[in-house]
Amino acid sequence: MTIDDTRSGLVLPDYARDEASHPPLDSPEYRSSALRHPKQPLQYLPHHLTEITGPLLGQDRCGDTDHDLTVQHDDEPQGERIIVSGKVLDSNGKPVPNTLVEVWQANAAGRYLHQGDRHPAPLDPNFSGTGRCMTDSEGNYRFITIKPGAYPWKNHDNAWRPAHIHFSLFGQAFTQRLITQMYFPGDPLFYQDPIFNSVRDEKARERMICSFDLDSTVPEWALSYKWDIVLRGPQATVFEDEEEDDD
């Protein structure tokens, strides 16, 4: 069943009945998908007890500062400090407590801290761009970070990716892992980004965009954005190839 509400958030519909909301595995506009997509039809497999019950990813996976990407080094990183928070909800709209949420992103100049990124923008020695936290008993998560910059990626002529943050969520079991991307409102690069536009349904694309939230902004310190994430059931888990994580 598809969940559709007015809150900002990613809602994953029933792809078998709503193909417009499901990015095709082979998206010609996204050139690298030609080499990565499955060549045979996907097959749904039933979940057994071992898939549903383990492994568990608990609180011991997170350090005291893992959720705050601005205090993980000797000095503060460059850029605009922001807060990103929201709820993780299951396919029935109920909070998903005690689940691991991980993020990774480019720095304020639009560069990732890995050897594959050759964008001629400065690296920030005080920003690694990765974080993690556990949702609380009500499914809430919260990160403090720096607003990422756009970056060129050579997918097409004069191609730039909109500012975005990658999210990895494990739901209630390891086999429910979801990898997705959160975008920021009003970005002028949406129209030319084939990853964002691989979601054909306009309303579904809009749910990938967070919303500015003045109520959770910390005065004179950081602006805040809200983004709720709704997971589907265990037979509808969405996976993304790890090779695509840096795009």
Catalytic residue among 22, 30, 112, 141: 112
Catalytically annotated residue among 22, 30, 81, 151:
151
Find all residues with CB under 8 Å of 82, minimum gap 6, and list them. 144, 145, 146, 147, 222, 223, 224, 225
pLDDT at 203: 82
Would residue 141 show up in a list of annotated catalytic residues for this protein? no
Annotated active-site residue in 22, 132, 161, 207: 161
| pLDDT of 31 higher than 60 | yes
What are the Cα distances from residue 19, in Å, to 22, 24, 106, 233? 5, 8, 30, 17
Q: Which helix (H) or strand (E) holds 58?
A: none
User: How many whole angstroms separate alpha carbon 104 and alpha carbon 168?
Assistant: 9
Highest-confidence segment of 1-15, 154-168, 196-210 = 154-168
CATH architecture of 1-19+85-113+122-241: Sandwich (2.60)
Encoded tokens for 28: 């010609």
**pLDDT at 18 exceeding the cut of 60:** no
Report the pLDDT averaged over residues 123-135.
96
Helix (H, G, I), strand (E, B) or coil at 234: helix
Contact 77, 158 (CB under 8 A): no
Which is the catalytic residue, given 22, 111, 132, 164?
164
Q: pLDDT exceeding 70 applies to what percent of the chain?
A: 77
User: How does pLDDT run across 41-96, given as a tens digit for each residue?
Assistant: 877 777 676 666 655 555 667 888 999 999 999 999 999 999 999 999 887 888 98
Name the nearest CA neighbour of 167 among 133, 125, 201, 215: 133
The pTM for the full model equals 0.81
> Is there a catalytic annotation at residue 67?
no
Percent of the chain with pLDDT over 90: 51
If we measure between CA atoms, which residue out of 168, 162, 146, 165 comes closest to residue 231? Answer: 168
Q: Is the per-residue pLDDT at 37 higher than 50?
A: yes
Domain boundaries, the chain: 1-19+85-113+122-241
pLDDT digits (tens, 9 = 90+) for 156-186: 999 999 999 999 987 666 666 788 999 999 9
pLDDT score recorded for residue 175: 66
Closest by CA position to 145, among listed 210, 77, 86: 77
Q: Indicate if 119 belongs to the active site.
A: no
Q: Is 166 a catalytic residue?
A: yes
- Decide if 161 is catalytic: yes
